[in-house]
Amino acid sequence: MGPPSGRGDADPVGQGAPHLTIRVDFGAAGSFGPGKARLLALIDEHGSIAAAGRIMRMSYRRAWLLVEEMNAMFANPLVASQHGGRAGGGATLSPLGRSVLAAYREIETASATACAGATAQLRDALAKTHED
């Protein structure tokens, strides 16, 4: 019952084992949750904001706006990007980006572990019509 891997293979809501969805709210600074974590993980995996956006079925503009939002939210940018040219563009996670993603994954894992019993209790209480 661990957290989704962030690589595009997460169960859609309502399928598979119940799981927690964690969002960390920072007040006026914004929030960080599963969508932004997945975007960071995909940028790290593919080296491209555009590729990460395509995998998440969002426009490049939407992906870029989320990256800008995250970069502005933290003390230093989470994603560094190079503009296109002969060698093409690309994007990489900064050390802070990797650290933020790792901390978020740790929160997901610790939460899932701490709440496993209660999550199972809720699963067992579901109406039989909702079971796979």
Is 14 inside a domain boundary? no
Predicted pLDDT at 26: 97
Helix (H) or strand (E) holding 105: helix 95-114
Residue 117 domain flag: yes
In a domain, 102, yes or no: yes
pLDDT for residue 19:
85
pLDDT at 87: 57
Through-space distance between the first and last CA atoms of the chain, rounded to whole angstroms: 16
- pTM, two decimals, is 0.81
Instruction: Encode the chain (132 residues) as per-residue pLDDT tens digits.
Output: 444 444 344 444 455 678 899 999 999 999 999 999 999 999 999 999 999 999 999 999 999 999 999 999 999 999 998 776 555 679 999 999 999 999 999 999 999 999 999 999 999 998 877 555
**Residue 118: inside a domain:** yes
- CA–CA dist 118, 56 (Å, integer): 30
E-assigned strands of 2-87?
24-25, 31-32, 79-82
What is the structure's pLDDT at 82? 79
Examine residue 5 and state whether it is found in any structural domain, yes or no. Answer: no
Tokens matching residue 23 = 């969002």
* Residue 88's CATH number: 1.10.10.10
Q: Is residue 18 part of a domain?
A: no
How many domains does the chain contain in total? 1
How far is residue 124 from each of residues 4, 40, 43, 117, 130, measured CA to CA in Å? Answer: 21, 34, 37, 11, 11
Q: Is residue 6 part of a domain?
A: no
